[in-house]
Structure 1
Amino acid sequence: MKSEKKQTLCEITSEVEAYFDGLSYHKVRIRVYQNGWKLLKQFMEEHRMKFFNAKVCDAFITSVLNEMSYSDLSKKEKDTIRSANVLTEYQTTGMIRFRSVRKDYNFEGEIGNLMQSFLSYRKAQGMSEDTITSNKLYLHRFLTYLNSNSILVLSDLGKQQILGFINTLGFSSKSTIHCTLSSIRCFLRYLFDNKYLDYDLTYLVPKSSYKKEARLPTTYTKEEIERLLNAVDRSSPKGKRDIAMILLAARLGLRASDICGLKFENIYWETNTIHLIQRKTKEKIELPLLAEIGNVIIDYLKYGRPSSDLPYIFLRAAQPYDKLEEPTLHSIVSFYLKRAGIKNADQKKHGPHALRHSLAGILLEQKTPVPVISEVLGHSNTESTKTYLRIDLKSLRQCALEVPKIQSPYYQEVY
């Protein structure tokens, strides 16, 4: 078990930092933990403690309490105790429970009930959870505005109330304005189509010209990927699991959701292929089970995977031996990128999706046709793959044109 492994404070804090990073913890919050770990380091050095474990954590917390009750401590002292506790929790279970509670949006009253019906309708249409969550957020803001202006029944909803709410969006970001307007427009259309409203009020909601700019994909070079793979200790059960998952992302470009959801039934050993339905696109994909990947999966199944009846191949390394979740895989990749000493990894995307991007970049360097790359990555069409053309700098340079000289007395040629 992970709790029996001897770890220095530096080793355990590095793992937890990578875990936080994978969960997109804010840098300010991570610094709070780091400040607590500095005090813990001083405590361990003073008492000549080499390895961190639960007993060390208890001794440190006792010193912080100093015979005071927890409720009497300052916020800084409570944060210090929390900083030590998360290390023990991660060391013992391999994860850290969230302390924040996800906000629950209440849709009350006549309009709120209609919004709830609209959300159920969207779900029945097959809309993604992300889309429904977005609709829920922005419609709840609209409902809060209506309630604050005593608009409690649908018959009171009109032009003044709709435009009044839209005017409050002036200081919001372009993406927030776009998503809000889209949610309201769809809701009003639903009310009219289902005869809750006699008039179609969608004309009151202006259309946004906002378009989300596609970001330049983060990639790592072929040499950096090899350094990442070499950074994994393949002798331990955890390392056997980690190398198998990382190779699936780096060599086959599988998404984190598909790697974590990979089942025994998805691997066809007789044909050396992987068959699955992608979680994101719902499209079927068939990929070759490369010998390199097949061998490490077999090694993990024989000597690393805990005994379990779960259908999933990759499980947590410590009890409870549940299915591995995507944030944990992100933390794993991030951890090994840091261990490999790859420059600027902190300033770039550093999860499994970056390995997927890197595979596309390597294939482009090898002059692989875009339709083939699209097939490998499981894109439903080549348009999604074309975004990777922007990272093929060698080919882009061939398209560059010489800058013509400017015939002007104010132009000075630089040598």
Structure 2
Amino acid sequence: MNLTNLRQNHEELINHMKNSGYSMSCIYMYRHQIREILELDLESWTSYKDIHQYFESVSTNQKDLKWRRSVIGGIEHFDLFHLFPDRRRICSFIEPTGAYYSLNPDFRQLIDHYKAYAKKTGKTYETTIDNESHSGATFFYHLQQKGCLNLESVEENDVLSYFLDESGNLIRSSGCCKNVRAVLKAGVELNPSACKRVLLLLPHLTEHRKNIQVLTDDEIEKINLLLSTEILSLRDKAIISLLLHTGIRGVDIINLKLQSVNWNEDVIRLVQSKTETELELPLRPNVGNAIYDYIIEERPTCSYDTVFISEAVPHEPLKVQTIRWLVRKVFKLANIRMGKGERIGTHLFRHNLTRKLLEKDTSLPVISNILGHTSPKSVDPYLHTDFPHLKECALSIENFPIRMEVFDID
């Protein structure tokens, strides 16, 4: 096990902990553990998990074991990925998880080939590549569990059992099937006959979309009422204002830079994480004021250039989970969407903005640009939320006589 990086750079970890306000006792535990690891440097060690198991075998103090696991995990994060302790998570050992890591060499090669093929043929969206490779890996892992060690041994029942349960009910979406199909199509270049055969075994699934949920006017009023109180911090108010009035994605909020906000032109300019395309949004007064108040009055002083920073020390850019947590917190405080099955998430704000724009007769290309979609067709599913215009499409039945019994609901 190569400990050169830890040996040369461990003082950087210690200095970070000092500057971040960690207690002297915690710093001592890290320094003491690093010294022990570097002094022993056993040939039998191949990972930090091996290091922990060694100390677990020689320790006689149970209290000693509790802190060692977390400290050794923290040292591993620093040594391998230059990640520092942040007070908000317990450092555990880094172990690869997911279906891909359980695949045999033949199936894993197909996933690796797909990723290379996707980039070679112009697929630039990392999220698309990740989603399709994940579906492919899960599909291959299922086949592997059914006893298939390669595509040549796959039968129709093996494929169908991934998409249907024993009663013949659908358990996978058409999107999942589409992703698997993309991986197998790429595999034709690697193994033509086997991939083409399995492609023919995939079921043809019809795409079904659930009705898109939107915020009601009453729910929006309750959120605005909450924003007018002192319950939320200035940071949280600014984030919710962005969600409510711009429909920006949560991942783009956490990546928003200070220089992305042009105060002279009253615009926000950013590169979207999902599509990697540029987006320009008008900076409305209520949104701009909320961001300004946060930056001037509450934002911690730090070296990061992202607008929104964690409140806890050490002050760092937010994680996307923080935005999700904040939305749930706001809905709970506003006492909305507490019913079973009601959707809670940042996308509700995008749905709501789209509905409002549709109701104002905004053209689909304009809505698509505001939302940062790359295709105007992406707005089509939202048309079902435009109730005022849908009502205009209703046909009168006044010329068709209806028996009174139809209206008798008793």
Class of the TM-score when normalised by the shorter of the 2 chains: 0.5 to 0.7
Q: Which amino acid aligns with 2:303?
A: D
- RMSD, aligned α-carbons: 3.5
Q: Deviations over 1:295-352 (max 9, x none)?
A: 1111111111111111211111212322112221122122112212236566422222
The Cα of 1:241 is off from its aligned counterpart by 0.4
> What is the distance in 1 between the residues matched to 2:267 and 2:217?
24
TM normalised by structure 1 equals 0.64
Corresponding residue to 1:174 among 162, 170, 177:
170
> What is the distance in 1 between the residues matched to 2:251 and 2:214?
19
Q: Give the conservation status (yes or no) of the 8 Å contact 2:272–2:279.
A: yes
Give 1:14's aligned residue.
Answer: none
Match of 1:128, SS state, is helix
Give 1:261's aligned residue.
Answer: 255
Q: Deviations over 1:92-131 (max 9, x none)?
A: x895669897734435655145234324425634343222
Residues 359 and 99 from structure 1, CA distance in 2 versus in 1: closer, same or farther, beyond 3 angstroms? farther
Give 1:339's aligned residue.
Answer: 333
> What is the distance in 1 between the residues matched to 2:313 and 2:271?
29
Corresponding residue to 2:274 among 269, 272, 280:
280
Give 2:320's aligned residue.
Answer: 326
Give 1:54's aligned residue.
Answer: none
Give 2:343's aligned residue.
Answer: 349
Corresponding residue to 2:295 among 284, 295, 301:
301
Give 1:137's aligned residue.
Answer: 138
The Cα of 1:143 is off from its aligned counterpart by 3.1
Give 2:72's aligned residue.
Answer: none
TM normalised by structure 2 equals 0.65
> What is the distance in 1 between the residues matched to 2:194 and 2:134?
27
Corresponding residue to 1:213 among 208, 213, 233:
208
Q: Give the conservation status (yes or no) of the 8 Å contact 2:331–2:337.
A: no
Give 1:388's aligned residue.
Answer: 382
Corresponding residue to 1:226 among 221, 225, 233:
221
Match of 2:154, SS state, is helix
Q: Tell me the number of residue pairs that the alignment of Structure 1 and Structure 2 aligns.
A: 314
Alignment of 1:64-75 (within 5 A): none
Q: Is 1:117 matched with 2:118?
A: no
Q: Which protein, 1 or 2, shows the higher relative CO under an 8 Å CA cutoff with sep ≥ 6?
A: 1
Match of 2:394, SS state, is coil
The range that moved more, 356-365 or 366-375, is 366-375
Give 2:352's aligned residue.
Answer: 358
Residues 315 and 199 from structure 1, CA distance in 2 versus in 1: closer, same or farther, beyond 3 angstroms? closer
Q: Which amino acid aligns with 2:158?
A: F
Q: Which amino acid aligns with 1:133?
A: H
Q: Give the conservation status (yes or no) of the 8 Å contact 1:142–1:165.
A: yes
Give 1:31's aligned residue.
Answer: none
Q: Deviations over 1:210-254 (max 9, x none)?
A: 233222222223443232133147658x61001111111111111
> What is the distance in 2 between the residues matched to 1:313 and 1:95?
20
Give 1:42's aligned residue.
Answer: none
Q: Give the conservation status (yes or no) of the 8 Å contact 2:300–2:311.
A: yes
> What is the distance in 2 between the residues matched to 1:230 and 1:372?
29
Q: Which amino acid aligns with 2:292?
A: I
Uncovered stretches (5+) of structure 2, i.e. residues with no partner: 1-61, 64-85
Uncovered stretches (5+) of structure 1, i.e. residues with no partner: 1-68, 71-92
The range that moved more, 252-261 or 105-114, is 105-114
> What is the distance in 2 between the residues matched to 1:120 and 1:343?
39
Q: Deviations over 1:364-383 (max 9, x none)?
A: 33333333322221222222
Match of 2:233, SS state, is helix
The Cα of 1:411 is off from its aligned counterpart by 8.3
> What is the distance in 1 between the residues matched to 2:329 and 2:296?
25
> What is the distance in 2 between the residues matched to 1:369 and 1:186?
33
Q: Deviations over 1:136-167 (max 9, x none)?
A: 2212222333xx35x4xx6xx53x53335225
Q: Give the conservation status (yes or no) of the 8 Å contact 2:268–2:280.
A: yes
